[in-house]
Structure 1
Amino acid sequence: MARTTRLTAVATMATTMLIAGAAHADATLTIGTVNNADMVRMQALSGEYEKTHPGVHLNWVVLEENTLRQRLTTDIATHGGQFDVMTIGAYEAPLWGAQQWLKPLDNLPGDYDINDLFPNVREQLTVDGHLYAVPFYAEASITFYRKDLFAARGLTMPEQPTWQQIREFATKLHDPSHGMYGVCLRGKAGWGENMALLGTIVNSYGGRWFDPGWKPQIDTPPWHEAVKFYIDLLSHYGPPGPSDNGFNENLALFAAGRCAMWVDASVAGGTLVNPKESTVTDKVGFTRAPKQMTDRGSSWLWVWSLAIPASTRQFNEARDFILWATSRPYLQRVGERYGISSTPPGTRLSTYDSAAYMNTAPFAKVTFDSLKAVDPAHPTLLPVPYKGIQLVSIPEFQAVATLVGRLIAGALTGRGQVDDVLHTCQNAVERTMKRAGYYQPNKAEQP
């Protein structure tokens, strides 16, 4: 009996050692992510994760936004298996999840507290009841402005300005001889760059990508008015070479004190109030994104999230990492290391239940209010057959909006007139939608 007990104990110990060895077996996770400030902080803090997971090594591939999207899309569609963790957004997660290109993230541990995630953020990453990515940060678009410059000129920024008011302010604040530009906006071509912003401007002018019959609506008065306004505004009151400027470039300009106003992602607030990263920390005001004839779809909703491709052979290790990087303790650690205002925003309700965060982060309330107000299911003034504010939730949108964004960026540099460019875009998108089977002329609903 004693011998049997000893043998059982030895067997149990051996099994335990095997399990422990498996848990700590060497694994290298390749993580593809974008070069935004919050992801750079994640990479910097990841050494702490490796210390507590000695068998796991993290290989970072940090890329500019357009390049990242190209690499990840190619890899996921071809099942290339280059990545174990992908940084993707509210566009890719549901489409790729529906294709079963991503691993579902079901039965998450209780201490992850999935109910703490913003409901409308979690919804963007869910298909048929399955979560396919976990949110790293979420953003609306808001307006950043220089309070000191407004005060010096006796100007008052409304709680939600119109785009025409933004233009009027820009005419009074633009002073390039002293290195100050009236307004900075995305001009770099890309469906997630210039078209993210321009999509909300078109929405605010009453436009839409498609009518309920999937007929493209690009060559229509709202698009013409919105695009002409955008190009005129940037050409007269923006920085030189605006077609080279995306989110990161404009963030750098504003943080350096070169922009009087900027309409972009609310996540930039954490950088702009950080004295280590910004020269205008105490001079920045925050308000809602501009509207025009409507506020429907005038502010976007975007979620940068972490997902696991189906091609990975290291699912458990990848799952453990993404849960760490999106957990409440991780958010708290970012606040401790970089300041509470740098906490990744927009994902957890508990962040906005924190009086310390709300009192310290001056952009928190406008971000919270904007995220509550956005409605991707009803993104435009007129009815549409799709979900998504600055995007359209169909696989073809990436190619369509990339083409449109490139042609509009060309018009911004003087290559083509807006009327001609939008007519060309309309014809190209019609061909794409017809080939894909969405739209036939005799079936499409007219405006």
Structure 2
Amino acid sequence: MRFGKTLCTASVLAIAAAGAATAGSHMTTITIATVNNGDMVRMQGLADEFNKEYPDIALEWVTLEENVLRQRVTQDITAGGGQFDVMTIGTYEVPIWGKQGWLVALDDMPEDWDADDFLPAISSGLTVDGTLYAAPFYGESSMVMYRTDLMEQAGLEMPDAPTWEFITKAAEAMTDKENEVYGICLRGKAGWGENMAFLTAMSNSFGARWFDENWTPQFDTEEWATTLNTYLDVMNNYGPPGASTNGFNENLSLFQQGKCGMWIDATVAASFVTNPDDSTVADKVGFALAPDAGNGKRSNWLWAWSLAIPSGTDAEDAAKTFVAWATGKGYTELVAQNEGWANVPPGTRKSLYENEEYLEAAPFAEMTLNSINEADPKNPTVDPVPYTGIQFVAIPEFSGFATQVGQEFSAALAGQQSAEEALEKAQALVSDEMEAAGY
């Protein structure tokens, strides 16, 4: 979840079915904006299979780094630009944009698409007044992924439900900087969906919150100070160099290269760190729930990358056809045939977690489902709050000021200011933004 100014990571790729443009045929082109995460890249790679089934629909892909994607699709939909027919958006955007009438309702999808099969924890976040406005491509929470060999060498045993105290102890024990092995890798890249997704979820476990019940910002509290100082201490002592520029993809690469003892991040990463084609430590990975601090809340989030159709598209029927294909049960089986069951998009359908082939192939399946089901976006914090959302606050203004806060916290991680200075700036800027917004 984040914003950027450049398109340096963008790739635009048009894929059309060979021989489809026969004389007199009508070809509809839909433009799909998506994120450069592994599951979406895999979807793009399987586009030929879609075109075999639907040769009259051409797919044009705009694949972007997450911060840039969010900026592009937000600018386009708020301005009614009409650049995209299908957008990859998240659990934060869907309810807000659905209420605004900016998204096409998915209430007339094919019967075999089986909307009732979606996990309630995931579909509820994509629903407004009983209507689904986006189709979940994959769902996630967050959890601890760790090196079982390094944990054993350290003489420690990872609990199924660790505390932050244990995580810190384990990070110290597993760090071997001479051999470029770092005890822990966490998001440091600035962005409301990069470092602030992680830090907001982490803060919940320490009893912190963005706002009290009167919408007063809470960064001047002891709970936020404890959160940020714990994060900075563990990262400065046991994290990799340059961590302030590391997001999901950068930490994934580090873990796959064997340079992270632990990584606390999205459950969807599990299939990538256990894939022997990509990961040097595939057979040495264990999983645990995201840590807590003894306050009754864990630091796991809830998210779905979903496919939505912007209102006003001139290719609504074709867009719905693609969305139904990409988020249907048939697509899951297609990925299983090509990549193996462990690599299918996780976290969206109940039937997947009743599939014995998947459960046998995916050692992370149970922990993923438990993490998703344990997340409660309606009650995300220890003390009451006036908002919903675990790693975000579900108000339109959040994406803007949370990105600014993320920049301050990333600067603290880079050693450019203290935790106290970062929190003071966060308190001031969020207070100003909320006052300007009329809260």
Shorter-chain TM range is over 0.9
Please list the CA deviations of residues 35-89 of structure 1 after superposition, one character each: whole Å capped at 9, or x if unmatched: 0000000000011101221111111111110010000110010000110100000
Deviation per residue, 1:135-176 (Å, 9 max, x gap): 000000000000111112221001111112111111111001
**Paired residues of 2:134 and 2:307 also in contact (CA < 8 A):** yes
Q: What is the CA RMSD across the aligned residues, in angstroms?
A: 1.2
**CA offset digits 1:297-339 (Å, max 9, x no partner):** 5210011000001131100000000110000110111111111
Aligned twin of 1:442? none
Within 5 A, what are the aligned runs for 1:222-241? 222-241=223-242
Determine the C-alpha separation between the residues in 1 that align with 2:424 and 2:179.
Answer: 39
Provide the secondary structure at the position in 2 that maps to 1:209: coil
- Is contact 2:32–2:86 with CA below 8 Å preserved after alignment? yes
Amino acid paired to 1:251: L
Cα deviation code 1:73-114 (max 9, x no counterpart): 100100001101000000001101111111111122211111
Q: Deviations over 1:214-257 (max 9, x none)?
A: 11111111111100110111111011100110000000110111
Q: Structure 1 vs Structure 2: percent identity of aligned residues?
A: 51
1:24–1:53 contact (8 Å) kept in structure 2: no
Name the structure 2 match of 1:96.
97
- The 1:270/1:280 distance shift into structure 2, 3 A limit, reads same
CA distance in structure 1 between the aligned counterparts of 2:54 and 2:383, rounded to whole angstroms: 52
Which amino acid in structure 2 is aligned with residue 425 of structure 1? A
Distance 1:434 1:244 in 2: 31
The answer on whether the counterparts of 1:181 and 1:260 sit within 8 Å (CA) in structure 2 is yes
User: Match of 1:166?
Assistant: 167
Distance, in Å, in 1 between the alignment partners of 2:297 and 2:79 is 37
Partner of 1:193: 194
**Which residue of structure 2 lines up, in the alignment, with residue 265 of structure 1?**
266
User: What does 1:384-399 correspond to in 2, within 5 Å?
Assistant: 384-399=385-400
Equivalent AA in structure 2 for residue 76 of structure 1? I
1:247-258, aligned counterparts within 5 Å?
Answer: 247-258=248-259
2:280 maps to 279
Moved more, 30-39 or 45-54: 45-54
Q: Which residue of 2 aligns with 1:316?
A: 317
Contact preservation (8 Å) 1:24, 1:56: no
Cross-structure match for 1:134: 135
3-state DSSP of counterpart to 1:303: strand
**Distance in structure 2 (CA, Å) of the matches to 1:277 and 1:401:** 33
- TM-score with structure 1 setting the length: 0.92
> By how many angstroms is 1:294 displaced?
2.3
Residue 445 of structure 1: aligned partner: none
Offset at 1:33?
0.4
Unaligned runs of 5+ in 1: 1-20, 439-447
Quote the Cα distance in structure 2 between the aligned partners of 1:342 and 1:222.
38
Partner of 1:350: 351
Structure 2 gaps, min length 5? 1-21
| In 1, Cα distance between equivalents of 2:244 and 2:347 | 29
Q: How does 1:324-343 map to 2 (within 5 A)?
A: 324-343=325-344
Deviations 1:369-403 (A, max 9, x none): 11111110000000001110000000000011101
Q: Which residue of 2 aligns with 1:111?
A: 112
State whether residues 204 and 382 of structure 2, in contact with CA within 8 Å, keep that contact through their aligned partners in structure 1.
yes
How far, CA to CA, are the matches of 2:191 and 2:168 in structure 1? 24
Residue 204 (structure 2) aligns with: 203
Give the match for residue 412 of structure 2. 411
Looking at structure 2, the residues matched to 276 and 292 of structure 1 have their Cα atoms a distance apart, in angstroms, of 36
Contact 1:90 1:302 survives alignment (8 Å): yes
Which SS does the other structure have where 2:46 is aligned? helix
**In structure 2, distance between residues paired with 1:152 and 1:428:** 45
Q: Cα offset for 1:295?
A: 4.1
Task: Spell out, residue by residue over 1:15-52, the C-alpha distance to the aligned partner (whole angstroms, 9 max, x if none).
Answer: xxxxxx9x962111111000000000000001110122
2:291 maps to amino acid: P
Q: Distance in 2 between matches of 1:153 and 1:168?
A: 10
Query: Does structure 2 conserve the Cα–Cα contact (< 8 Å) formed by 1:297 and 1:380?
Result: no
Give the corresponding residue for 1:216. Answer: 217
Give the drift of 1:293: 2.9
TM-score by length of 2: 0.93
Question: Alignment partner of 2:32: what SS?
Answer: strand
- Partner Cα separation in structure 1 for residue 73 and residue 373 of structure 2: 30
Three-state SS of the structure 2 residue aligned to 1:403 is: helix
Query: What is the Cα deviation at residue 201 of structure 1?
Result: 1.2
Deviates more, 1:417-426 or 1:187-196: 417-426
SS in 1 for 2:141: strand
Q: How many residues align?
A: 417
What amino acid sits opposite 2:115 in the alignment? I
**1:101 is aligned with what amino acid?**
W
Q: Does structure 2 conserve the Cα–Cα contact (< 8 Å) formed by 1:139 and 1:265?
A: yes
CA distance in 2, matches of 1:178, 1:428: 41
Deviations 1:274-301 (A, max 9, x none): 1111111110001100111324252100
Aligned residue identity for 2:361: T
Q: Distance in 2 between matches of 1:53 and 1:107?
A: 19
Contact 1:150–1:156, Cα closer than 8 Å, also in 2: yes
Question: What amino acid is the match of 1:224?
Answer: A
What is aligned with 2:6?
A: none
Q: 2:4 maps to what in 1?
A: none
- 1:377 matched to 2:383: no
Aligned twin of 1:85:
86
Instruction: Tell me which amino acid in the other structure corresponds to 1:431.
Output: D
Question: 1: CA distance between counterparts of 2:148 and 2:121?
Answer: 31
Aligned partners of 1:426 and 1:141: how far apart in 2? 27
SS of the residue 1:124 aligns to: helix
**Cα deviation digits, residues 337-359 of structure 1 (max 9, x gap):** 11111010000000000111112
* 8 A Cα contact 1:80 1:311, kept in partner: no
> Is 2:19 aligned against 1:43?
no
Are the aligned partners of 1:297 and 1:379 in contact in 2 as well (CA < 8 Å)? no
Q: Give SS of 2:137's match.
A: strand
Q: Distance in 2 between matches of 1:109 and 1:59?
A: 23
CA offset at residue 424 of structure 1? 1.3
On the 8 A contact 2:411/2:417 being kept in 1, the answer is: yes
Task: Check the 8 A contact 2:290/2:298 in 1, yes or no.
Answer: no
1:144-155 map, 5 Å: 144-155=145-156
Asked whether the 8 Å contact 1:199–1:391 carries over to 2, the reply is yes
Whole-Å separation in 2 of the counterparts to 1:325 and 1:24: 24
Distance 2:429 2:298 in 1: 24
